[in-house]
Amino acid sequence: DGSWELTMSGNMECPLDSVYVLDSFVGFLVKTFASGYFTKTEGVQVLKCDDWRTKAVTHVDRRAKANIRIVFIPYGNQYHQPRFNITVVKEFKIFWTNIEV
């Protein structure tokens, strides 16, 4: 369908039949300047940016998260891969910014 999907997850260990989440994060911000739009998915809210070129999504609450699915749909017949700038918050004093994918 032409959409791009980002999956953000904490460190996970997968022994045999079950998955044990060893780590998680409480917040995130994903931005792009690509032509298109983000869709709302579980745990993800689309932000309305003042700058018409910027599109962004963030978390809906500050509960610990182990897995988040983010979907971006480009306009028209654009086949190039969009660039995303990501901020991830582990906890109040531990976070990472300017992660480029």
Q: Which tens digits make up the pLDDT trace of 34-92? A: 989 999 999 999 998 888 888 999 999 988 888 889 999 998 776 678 899 999 888 88
Global confidence as pTM: 0.81
H helix or E strand, kind and range, residue 32: strand 27-32
